[in-house]
């Protein structure tokens, strides 16, 4: 029994170089991301969106911290 015998024919294809590439259909059957940066990962786009949202939150936090820091400096200057 070969490695590919474990999978349905629509679960993968072979590249010209002989690599096994799992399809999006297989990934959805499996039900989770394996973190291997698969070519047909259905979760890739969601992860990129989540990462972008995280960057936006971080940018907002940094902007708020900069404003707060500037206000503190102005307050200390006024008190001097």
> Could you please report the per-residue DSSP string of 15-64?
-TTS-EEE-HHHHHHHTS--SS--TT-TTHHHHHHHHHHHHHHHHHHHHH
pLDDT of residue 51: 65
pLDDT of residue 26: 93
pLDDT of residue 35: 85
SS3 of residue 21 by DSSP: strand
CB proximity list for 12: less than 8 A, separation 6 or greater: 4, 20, 21, 22, 23, 26
Q: Is the pLDDT of residue 74 over 70?
A: no
15-63 tens-digit pLDDT: 999 999 999 999 999 998 888 888 898 887 766 666 667 666 555 556 5
Q: Is the pLDDT of residue 14 over 90?
A: yes
- pTM of the entire structure? 0.52
């Amino acid at each position: 029994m070969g490695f590919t015998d474990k999978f349905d024919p629509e679960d993968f294809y072979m590249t010209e170089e002989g690599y096994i590439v799992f399809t999006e259909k297989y990934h959805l059957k499996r039900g989770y991301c394996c973190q291997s940066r698969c070519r047909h990962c259905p979760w890739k786009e969601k992860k990129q969106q989540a990462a972008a949202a995280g960057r936006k939150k971080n940018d907002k936090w940094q902007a708020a911290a900069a404003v707060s820091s500037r206000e503190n400096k102005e307050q200390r200057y006024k008190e001097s």
